[in-house]
């Protein structure tokens, strides 16, 4: 029998984290939850720890340490708190795979720790690749840490190139188009967070759901694809596909296109990132070809969804530009959810921040940390005007 893989989940209380625990629960002989972490939802983290009995749990918000420790006092589980503890626990010798299911720039430091410790990375936290893809790739090579994509599109691309020895001619990156796919510019100016949080096909965390509505999520996925698959941006074509059945595709030199299809269910790419190169049995829904009526494809509209064009522009500028865009986006994404700005303020604030923050061509990790802070301050100042 194959060895049971020991998994650390960074962000076990989130959408990806809880689905990863379902995958682990389906295959107790193959996977174990070794480390679970969360930001502040200590009650849910304690419940998960009771059920999966990991060796350690980390709560990033230090204010939640005591209630969490007390809730687990009768169990043989180490309890830690703080952002530094996240970076330390992933280095444990016992850990085989680190699932990065935290949201935002905060996922970068623990992902770097895990790579430096040579762990296999199941990458959900796309912000890591958006901010620092070049640096992450260099570290992953240096420390022989394989990076397996969890993002459904990148998993589809990965699955489509298995066994190929020839280069990719083009990546076809599919996008649902989000809840506002058919909205006019006038309509977009007045949409509310509640409307934006109703995604047609996927049930995800709040931040990525807003990013899907602006299509910044797809812009970030273009950047993620460039770094994961070493394909230049002009060979990455975004195609709007409202049904989210074709999860993405790859075209080769002879014109052949390979795609991966399935029911929209994140547990499939999560499980594959854990079990690769094997595929394991699953109880998840199968595609029904006769209720699926039609699969449709459209051009994305960067007039109505400028965030997609901003992401391509950030890639073209290179250096710390994608880091700036990510930071500004985190600020305005939250501001929109808190009704401190309008939907159309999102792209305007990001574009202006991208133009204002000092450009650095070959950023170090410290440069990324400084850029992130500067871009947040600048975006905040624009919102407070
Ligand atoms: P979520 O908001 O549902 O969950 C985020 C998790 O991270 C929670 O467990 C939270 O406690 C933890 N967290 C948040 N901020 C933290 C911090 N500062 N320090 C420590 N922990 C922190 O988010 P999600 O939808 O599960 O997305 C997680 C990541 O996966 C994101 O990068 C997202 O882009 C990516 N992703 C998600 C989906 C999806 O279907 N949800 C699909 C593709 C990619
Ligand atoms: Mg995706």
Give the three-class secondary structure for 56.
strand
Please give the pLDDT value at position 74: 98
Please give the pLDDT value at position 292: 87
Please give the pLDDT value at position 97: 98
CB 103 near ligand 1, within 6 Å: yes
Interatomic CA distance for residues 115 and 212, integer angstroms? 28
Residue nearest to atom 23 of ligand 1 (CA): 205
pLDDT, tens digit (0-9, with 9 covering 90-100), for 187-227:
999 999 999 998 888 889 999 999 999 999 999 999 999 99
Interatomic CA distance for residues 77 and 123, integer angstroms? 26
> Phi-psi category of 195—alpha, beta or left, where left has phi over 0 and alpha has psi -120 to 50?
alpha
CB 100 near ligand 1, within 6 Å: no
Interatomic CA distance for residues 46 and 52, integer angstroms? 10
Query: Does pTM top 0.95 for this prediction?
Result: yes
pLDDT, tens digit (0-9, with 9 covering 90-100), for 293-347:
899 999 999 999 999 999 999 999 999 999 999 999 999 999 999 999 999 999 9
Please give the pLDDT value at position 250: 98
Q: What letter would DSSP give residue 141?
A: H
360 token code pair: 């650095």
Please give the pLDDT value at position 385: 82
For residue 152, give the ligand 1 atom closest to its CA: 43
Rounded to the nearest angstrom, the distance between the alpha carbon of 39 and the centre of ligand 2 is: 22
The residues whose Cβ lies within 5 A of ligand 2, an ion, are: 151-153
Please give the pLDDT value at position 1: 54
Please give the pLDDT value at position 202: 81
Please give the pLDDT value at position 293: 84
- Angle (nearest 5°) at CA 112 between 107 and 113: 105
- Angle (nearest 5°) at CA 249 between 11 and 313: 70
Please give the pLDDT value at position 350: 98
Listed as ranges, residues in the chain with pLDDT below 50 are none
């Amino acid at each position: 029998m194959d060895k049971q893989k020991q998994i650390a989940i960074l962000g076990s209380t989130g959408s990806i984290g809880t689905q990863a625990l379902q995958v682990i629960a389906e295959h107790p002989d193959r996977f174990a939850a070794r480390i679970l972490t969360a930001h502040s939802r200590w009650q849910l983290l304690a419940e998960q720890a009771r059920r999966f009995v990991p060796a350690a749990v980390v709560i990033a918000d230090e204010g939640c340490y005591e209630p969490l420790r007390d809730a687990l006092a009768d169990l043989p589980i180490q309890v830690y708190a703080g952002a530094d503890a996240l970076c330390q626990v992933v280095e444990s010798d016992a850990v085989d795979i680190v699932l990065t299911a935290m949201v935002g720039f905060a996922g970068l430091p623990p992902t770097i720790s895990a790579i430096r410790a040579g762990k296999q990375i199941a990458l959900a936290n796309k912000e890591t690749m958006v901010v620092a893809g070049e640096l992450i790739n260099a570290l992953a090579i240096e420390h022989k840490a394989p990076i397996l994509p969890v993002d459904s599109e990148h998993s589809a691309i990965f699955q489509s190139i298995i066994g190929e020895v020839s280069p990719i001619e083009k990546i076809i990156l599919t996008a649902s188009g989000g809840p506002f796919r058919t909205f006019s510019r006038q309509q977009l100016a007045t949409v509310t967070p509640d409307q934006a949080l109703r995604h047609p096909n996927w049930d995800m965390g709040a931040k990525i759901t807003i990013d899907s509505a602006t299509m910044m999520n797809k812009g970030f996925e273009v950047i993620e694809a460039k770094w994961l698959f070493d394909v230049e941006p002009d060979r990455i074509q975004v195609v709007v596909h409202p049904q989210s059945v074709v999860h993405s595709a790859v075209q080769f030199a002879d014109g052949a296109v390979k795609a991966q299809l399935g029911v929209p269910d994140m547990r499939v790419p999560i499980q594959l990132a854990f079990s690769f190169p094997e595929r394991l049995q699953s109880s998840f829904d199968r595609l029904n070809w006769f209720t699926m009526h039609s699969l449709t494809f459209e051009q994305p509209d960067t007039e109505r969804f400028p965030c997609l064009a901003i992401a391509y522009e950030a890639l073209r500028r290179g250096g710390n530009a994608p880091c700036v865009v990510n930071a500004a986006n985190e600020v305005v994404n939250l501001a929109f959810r808190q009704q401190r700005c309008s939907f159309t303020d999102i792209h305007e604030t990001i574009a202006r921040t991208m133009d204002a923050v000092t450009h650095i061509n070959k950023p170090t990790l410290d440069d990324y940390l400084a850029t992130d802070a500067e871009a947040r301050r600048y975006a905040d100042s624009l919102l407070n005007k």
